[in-house]
Structure 1
Amino acid sequence: MTAIPQERRLVTAVPGPKSLELQARRTATVAGGVGSTMPVFAARAGGGVLEDVDGNRFIDFGSGIAVTTVGASAEAVVRRATAQLADFTHTCFMITPYEGYVAVCEQLAELTPGDHAKKSALFNSGAEAVENAVKIARSYTKRQAVVVFDHGYHGRTNLTMALTAKNMPYKNGFGPFAPEIYRVPVAYGYRWPTGPENCGPEASAQAIDQISKQIGAENVAAIIIEPVLGEGGFIEPAKGFLPALAKFAKDNGIVFVADEIQSGFCRTGQWFACEDEGIVPDLITTAKGIAGGLPLAAVTGRAEIMDAAHSGGLGGTYGGNPVACAAALGSIETMRELDLPAKARRIEEIMKARLATLREKYDIVGDVRGRGAMIAIELVKDRESKEPAAEATAALAKACQQAGLLVLTCGTYGNVLRFLPPLVIGEDLLNEGLDIIEQAFAGL
């Protein structure tokens, strides 16, 4: 376990003097377009705690946006990465390959859904993985169109900005964007006009109709969707939606891509969120939780699809860095040894029970949703109109942070509090964090 005491501690104002000093240095030299959620500078982190440079310790309900699933200093990750650092930091897999890259691909072939032959290619970031999934799908199908969904988020590069739904802050002023990207409705049960019970079949029929009529299925290379939409608001598509889209893709020779960058690697209580409805994607993109905090991403899929790109068509100087691969093997080792899917399900059990009580008590809580340790509450000004309460959401997040709990917001309307605790967090810390959330609501 981590050497950091697993307890919340506030010894200065937030931010403290050392963080304020660093903030002044940051303002002078770091581009203003790079934002931060909290005004404190990290000194160390591990388990369910992040400690800042002033000695304040915060309960972590963010995991670096679902990255430090095994904690920010997991023993196996540190051990394996340290050993690799001592051997070599880089050769470039495209120049002289190394075993770690192959071993990660072997693990991905074993862990990802489906019993078909699988291959992988490794990259640095989720956006890179998504871009390469599009390249692979286009190469395989000889088609160009790519279908994405309302509220979807896929990255910050030019192509992935085009794939992403939300304008601000991700796309505003950064165009023109890549062509041949088409957006269709998603099954957002809480906001579906005829109610959540009708959402799955109606939304899938509407999406399929738009693809067929407006694009032509024969022109579509790939359908890309997050099995649980992350930045868009932790939207779990209504039951039946994903299977209907996957079947439509299969029937029409379209590559079905599951973007599991935020939802993968035990986060939702299964190794991958698409397993919930038995979805077997043609390609699956992963990053975030894969390597315990080191930059690594992957595209994994059917061998015949993955082999469609010509030799040299996939890669990158740092893709599958040996230290990151070692960290990934340590992260996967930890997930297996600690049975982190079960830990995620236990976190869901605790969090949903507490948050359901909040919903009963406060009308501002419109919806409690999510799976595993990917849980959210959507806040509304009025339950009937469901008008988003973005200002209250920001205020609640700030109140939690000031009290020693790191929480994140998200959602197309900026009105969702999202909770992504490390799966190794202790139940005492988890409950203390939920106490802080309850106190923040009481102070509204």
Structure 2
Amino acid sequence: MTVSAQLAARQVSAVAGGIGTRSIYAEKALNAELWDVDGKRYIDFAAGIAVNNTGHRHPRLMRAVREQAECFTHTCFHVAPYESYIRLAERLNAIAPTGVENRTMLVTTGAEAVENAIKVARAYTKRPGVIAFAGSFHGRTMLGMALTGKVAPYKKNFGPFPSDIYHAPFPNAFMGVTVEDALSALERLFQADIDPERVAAIIVEPVQGEGGFNIAPKEFLQALRAVADRHGIVLIADEVQAGMGRTGKMFGFEHAGVKPDLVTMAKGLAGGFPLSALTGRAEIMNAAHPGGLGGTYAGNPLAVAAANAVLDVIEDEGLCERAAVVGQRIKDRLDAISQRQGMEQIGDVRGLGAMVAFEMVNDRISKDAAPSLTNTIVAEAEKRGLILLSCGTRANVIRILVPLTIEDDILAEGLDILEASIEAAVSVA
């Protein structure tokens, strides 16, 4: 019996069944490569779900964390604050694209950043309502699930959820949902379900992650900014997955030239260490009373050290520019595959920077989802040594999230495996 098989058996008897996993039991990793406990090598096209933008174990991150560990690992910022937290806040204040003076708080997970964004928006506006979008993902806490616009697997069987949360359609060109359709539905929501004067916040991803890598059109984000301004609503950019250089700019909202009021960050922020941040306009961030924000582990010193190193690496190694180059190579390869005879089940290829996906359908006319084929491609890739992730409200999208530091030859090798996996899956479909 392999070590992986032994661990799988132990997992069944030790770990909650509701925690979904894969059969890859990691032993070590470096940049864009991972080895399992049986010595099998994988190319990582998942990056820990967009966490390892700077790759596995980047030397500068590892050095920063080791140096911090020699000083202290935890004091709780509420009890004995430390300079590195303040320095990171200063740096995030400087880069968050609000266009005004900012303030920052640090927490641990993306869901915490989102929840605190809603808390701050409600404290500032003295209003209860929040609008999110179909296909969105904002976390697995009760409020995070309420905001999320995808039932399975995130919301199924876990309700009831917090009240005063409303969902509007998100533009989706492939499925024929236009910007005009989405905005008209938002206006109908104001007419039928909630007075806009009762809405505290609109929260939106510049590129939907779990929803299928649907890119928010520039016109849509600009219109949401206008709606928010007209009604005194706080506009929250959920940059948990799209941020930290992933889309070719530090934040996805920057592609649209739109200035949000609040920005949530996590995943790539600390390169594998648990850290998230909420940064936004000072007047909004300061609306909560002292003691109303925070948490015991919020802004852990090791994670803060890693995050400061991540910002250095993104700047010094030009990772925003690298994301654009890498993403274009991936899209070009997928476009070429999709245009070949016999590959008509690749219905759409889309992406922003190095946040790329392709959608599998039964045919391009009906656009009926092909989730079984999607799963087969992921399984084929895993057998051949490539880690892929699926997503989408119809479970038929494969997303590619390579480390931005991936070497050119490793990227090319991974794309070769991806092409072979698609061919093998389509041939037996």
TM-score (norm 2): 0.97
Q: In structure 2, how many angstroms separate the alpha carbons of the residues matched to 1:239 and 1:367?
A: 20
Q: In structure 2, how many angstroms separate the alpha carbons of the residues matched to 1:213 and 1:55?
A: 58
Residues 211 and 393 of structure 2 are in contact (CA less than 8 Å); yes or no, is this contact kept in structure 1? Answer: yes
Correspondence for 2:204: 225
Unaligned runs of at least 5 residues, structure 1:
1-15, 194-198
Correspondence for 1:11: none
State the percentage of identical aligned residues: 46
Q: For each residue in 1:78-119, what CA deviation from the matched residue of structure 2 results, as whole angstroms up to 9, or x when unmatched?
A: 111111111111000011100111111111011111331100
Residues 42 and 387 of structure 2 are in contact (CA less than 8 Å); yes or no, is this contact kept in structure 1? Answer: yes
Correspondence for 1:10: none
Correspondence for 2:167: 183
Question: 2:357 aligned with 1:376, yes or no?
Answer: yes
Q: Which amino acid aligns with 2:397?
A: V
Q: In structure 2, how many angstroms separate the alpha carbons of the residues matched to 1:297 and 1:148?
A: 20
Correspondence for 2:274: 295
Q: Which amino acid aligns with 2:162?
A: A
Unaligned runs of at least 5 residues, structure 2:
none
Q: In structure 2, how many angstroms separate the alpha carbons of the residues matched to 1:205 and 1:126?
A: 30
Match of 1:336 among 315, 318, 329: 315
Q: After superposition, where does 1:201-212 map in structure 2 within 5 Å?
A: 201-212=180-191
**Residue 441 of structure 1, CA deviation:** 2.0
Q: Which amino acid aligns with 2:352?
A: R
- What SS does the corresponding residue of 2:376 show, helix, strand or coil? helix
Residues 168 and 182 of structure 2 are in contact (CA less than 8 Å); yes or no, is this contact kept in structure 1? Answer: no
**Residue 239 of structure 1, CA deviation:** 3.5
Q: In structure 1, how many angstroms separate the alpha carbons of the residues matched to 2:190 and 2:121?
A: 17
Residues 218 and 255 of structure 2 are in contact (CA less than 8 Å); yes or no, is this contact kept in structure 1? Answer: no
Residues 200 and 239 of structure 1 are in contact (CA less than 8 Å); yes or no, is this contact kept in structure 2? Answer: no
The runs of at least 4 aligned residues of structure 1 exceeding 6 Å deviation read: none
Q: In structure 2, how many angstroms separate the alpha carbons of the residues matched to 1:352 and 1:304?
A: 41
Q: After superposition, where does 1:355-434 map in structure 2 within 5 Å?
A: 355-361=334-340, 362-434=343-415
Correspondence for 2:152: 168
Correspondence for 1:234: 213
Correspondence for 1:127: 111
Q: In structure 2, how many angstroms separate the alpha carbons of the residues matched to 1:357 and 1:212?
A: 46
Question: 2:225 aligned with 1:246, yes or no?
Answer: yes
Q: In structure 2, how many angstroms separate the alpha carbons of the residues matched to 1:186 and 1:208?
A: 13
Moved more, 137-146 or 236-245: 236-245
**Residue 215 of structure 1, CA deviation:** 0.9
Q: Which amino acid aligns with 2:224?
A: L
Residues 53 and 404 of structure 2 are in contact (CA less than 8 Å); yes or no, is this contact kept in structure 1? Answer: yes
**Residue 213 of structure 1, CA deviation:** 4.2
Q: After superposition, where does 1:43-62 map in structure 2 within 5 Å?
A: 43-62=27-46
Moved more, 402-411 or 19-28: 19-28
Q: For each residue in 1:313-356, what CA deviation from the matched residue of structure 2 results, as whole angstroms up to 9, or x when unmatched?
A: 00000000111100101111111111000110011111111100
**Residue 382 of structure 1, CA deviation:** 1.6
Residues 45 and 400 of structure 2 are in contact (CA less than 8 Å); yes or no, is this contact kept in structure 1? Answer: yes
Q: In structure 2, how many angstroms separate the alpha carbons of the residues matched to 1:118 and 1:386?
A: 44
Residues 369 and 394 of structure 2 are in contact (CA less than 8 Å); yes or no, is this contact kept in structure 1? Answer: yes
Q: In structure 2, how many angstroms separate the alpha carbons of the residues matched to 1:73 and 1:231?
A: 25
Q: Which amino acid aligns with 1:77?
A: L
Question: 2:252 aligned with 1:267, yes or no?
Answer: no
- What SS does the corresponding residue of 2:243 show, helix, strand or coil? coil
- What SS does the corresponding residue of 2:378 show, helix, strand or coil? helix
TM-score (norm 1): 0.94
Residues 98 and 261 of structure 2 are in contact (CA less than 8 Å); yes or no, is this contact kept in structure 1? Answer: no
Question: 2:87 aligned with 1:103, yes or no?
Answer: yes
Q: For each residue in 1:376-427, what CA deviation from the matched residue of structure 2 results, as whole angstroms up to 9, or x when unmatched?
A: 0011102111100000000001000110000000000000000000000011
Residues 184 and 211 of structure 1 are in contact (CA less than 8 Å); yes or no, is this contact kept in structure 2? Answer: no
Question: 2:194 aligned with 1:215, yes or no?
Answer: yes
Match of 2:126 among 127, 134, 142: 142
Match of 2:286 among 304, 307, 314: 307
- What SS does the corresponding residue of 1:119 show, helix, strand or coil? strand
Q: Which amino acid aligns with 2:361?
A: V
- What SS does the corresponding residue of 2:73 show, helix, strand or coil? coil
Q: In structure 1, how many angstroms separate the alpha carbons of the residues matched to 2:187 and 2:159?
A: 28
Q: In structure 2, how many angstroms separate the alpha carbons of the residues matched to 1:370 and 1:335?
A: 20
Q: In structure 2, how many angstroms separate the alpha carbons of the residues matched to 1:33 and 1:241?
A: 36
Correspondence for 1:8: none
Question: 2:72 aligned with 1:88, yes or no?
Answer: yes
Residues 247 and 352 of structure 2 are in contact (CA less than 8 Å); yes or no, is this contact kept in structure 1? Answer: yes
Match of 1:24 among 9, 12, 16: 9
Correspondence for 1:354: 333
